Amino acid sequence: MRSYRTDLEGLGRSLLESDRKLRDADLPAIRAWLGRLDAKEPSTIARKIASVRNFFQFLVREKILERSPASRLRGPKVPRKTPRFLEVGEAAQALENPTQEGVFWLRNRALLELMYGAGLRVSELCGVDVEHLDLERRMVRVRGKGNKDRVVPFGPPARAALKEWLAGRTEGALFVNSRGGRLSVRSAWRIVRDAGVANGLVGVHPHVLRHSCATHLLTGGADLRAIQEQLGHSSLSTTQRYVHVDTQQLLQVYRSAHPRARTDGK
């Protein structure tokens, strides 16, 4: 939402140069604004176009405008990048050696273990309350995109870390800051990043842990449908972007499964 607001404010400032308001934009004015942007990454341009198109669609739905000036706006092709993931040893190193000391070390370790162990989005993680945990069954209920609830499992290391962090607490936000308030998404992001840096792993962020969870599930034998449920994807095609198999594993699977890949004729 912050990004969408920034995009619309940028278009608004561009329009003010010609004494026009945001609702008075036309297609040439929008294209002129896009042409002056410093951002050149296709993904950034595509998001800005999506922001503008959705805003004007909203104005049409609310009968503020008769038609959207951005309806014929088309974004650039955005190449799909395979997200980074950690090797199993790298993930264990970051999870077991977080930053900070004392009670916040316990909090950070529990946060990292649960994020990786359950494959949670950072927003889902920060929204978890203590009541949403079932430590005995090692399950957690989270609210994902579209306000859809799902229950996902996590492992024994996450349970052990959560027990230490909770220390008998039975209600309220699961992860809190130094003032006792709910931990923000930005703070959780920083905790993950700092754990990576402290262990010599540059570029680690919450999505890397989520993708690592999906990748390690796949290499451990889980099928895509199970991973889809774990991650809370509405579409299987989204899950396929998050997981990949290395060449050696693909070769082993092929040789063991394909009838024409075996030399013994069996």
Catalytic residue among 84, 145, 148, 262: 145
**Residue 258 annotated to the active site:** no
**Residue 244 annotated to the active site:** no
Catalytic residue among 121, 159, 211, 216: 121
Catalytic residue among 53, 210, 211, 216: 210
235 in Cβ contact with 222 (< 8 Å): no
85 in Cβ contact with 218 (< 8 Å): no
85 in Cβ contact with 208 (< 8 Å): yes
**Residue 145 annotated to the active site:** yes
**Residue 148 annotated to the active site:** no
**Residue 121 annotated to the active site:** yes
**Residue 207 annotated to the active site:** yes
Please state, in angstroms and rounded to a whole number, the distance separating the CA atoms of residues 209 and 120.
Answer: 9
Please state, in angstroms and rounded to a whole number, the distance separating the CA atoms of residues 196 and 212.
Answer: 13
Catalytic residue among 48, 109, 211, 233: 233
Beta bridge partners of 239: none
Catalytic residue among 143, 207, 241, 244: 207
Residue type, 260: R
Residues with active-site annotation: 121, 145, 207, 210, 233, 242
